[in-house]
């Protein structure tokens, strides 16, 4: 690894945003650790690691391997997420637990492992992918909204805990994007999401990826939540 090449670990790396993040970080000369449940072929500056964020042993092993291979970790993007939608009265305990285990507990596990390395370095950036649903609580998504609201709380608590060690922690509301998570939406539903935006369109995964890579380059921003589409949220 080049001395000047920074290292980022991305969870949920096989999804649409994960792939866009890999491409954008590589273009900016980062060494990318692509953490995902199913192996992918390695490529220049991309090191795939099998990791299920719901398994503590997997997380510890992946971060240990990252430290062994590269000796540092400059950024973590907690991108792994899951939706299992249902009205509350029809939602099973399993649907609730699975969504929180991936989206919230997974972010906790990975942030904890990353923080150990970043505290030693006295430098690093953790970026958590949340959702505007954390604030608006969509119908039929009580589990997802609760998980993503928890991610915001986690972000702000960690920003306060780690700030004295120069570790920044921020959250992203990426907006609706054309990914596997939205592939089931009808044309009418996608149109309604677009209409809810002041610009009349949904977001692009490439623009979200570019913003996240930019954010990792900042030194004085922490504990913030960035909404990346053009839906206008009320002040209160």
Q: Tell me: the pLDDT tens digits for 166-203?
A: 999 999 999 998 877 777 778 888 888 899 999 999 89
**CA angle in degrees (0–180, nearest 5) for 220-224-230:** 120
Exposure on the CB side of residue 44, measured as CA atoms within 13 A: 5
31-36 and 75-78 beta bridge pairing: unpaired
Confidence (pLDDT) at 182: 78
Statement: residue 1 has pLDDT above 70: no
pLDDT in tens, 3-44: 578 999 999 999 999 999 999 999 999 999 999 987 666 788
What global pTM score does this model have?
0.93
Mean pLDDT of 203-215: 97
Which residues are annotated as catalytic? Answer: 144
Over 183-231, what HEC string results?
A: CCCCHHHHHHHHHCCCCCCCCCHHHHHHHHHHHHCCCCCCCCEEECCCC
Strand 31-36 relative to strand 167-173, pairing: unpaired
CA gap 195, 184 in Å, rounded: 18
- The domains of the chain are located at 7-226
CATH number belonging to the domain at 7-226, selected among 3.40.50.970, 3.90.1150.10, 3.40.50.720, 3.40.50.1980: 3.40.50.720
* Contact criterion met (CB below 8 Å) for 109 and 59: yes
Judge whether residue 99 has pLDDT over 90: yes
Instruction: Decide if 204 contacts 24 (C-beta within 8 A).
Output: no
Note whether 18 and 81 are within 8 A (CB).
no
């Amino acid at each position: 690894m080049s001395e000047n090449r920074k290292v980022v670990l991305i969870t949920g790396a096989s999804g649409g945003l994960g792939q866009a993040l890999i491409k954008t970080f590589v273009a900016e000369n980062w060494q990318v650790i692509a953490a995902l449940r199913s192996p992918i072929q390695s490529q220049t500056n991309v090191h795939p690691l099998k990791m299920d964020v719901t398994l503590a042993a997997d997380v510890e092993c992946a971060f240990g391997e990252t430290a062994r291979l590269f000796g540092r970790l400059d950024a973590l993007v907690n991108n792994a997420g899951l939706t299992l939608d249902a009205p509350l009265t029809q939602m099973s305990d399993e649907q609730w637990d699975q969504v929180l285990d991936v989206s919230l507990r997974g972010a906790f596990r990975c942030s904890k492992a990353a923080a150990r390395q970043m505290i030693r370095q006295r430098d690093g950036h953790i970026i958590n992918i949340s959702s505007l649903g954390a604030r608006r609580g969509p119908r039929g998504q009580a589990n997802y909204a609760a998980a993503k609201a928890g991610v915001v709380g986690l972000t702000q608590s960690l920003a306060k805990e780690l700030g004295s060690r120069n570790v920044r922690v921020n959250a992203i509301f990426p907006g609706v994007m054309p990914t596997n998570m939205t592939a089931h939406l009808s044309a009418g539903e996608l149109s309604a999401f677009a209409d809810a935006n002041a610009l009349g369109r949904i977001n692009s995964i490439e623009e979200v990826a570019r913003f996240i890579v930019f954010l990792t380059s900042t030194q004085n921003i922490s504990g913030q939540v960035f909404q990346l589409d053009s839906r206008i949220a009320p002040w209160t």
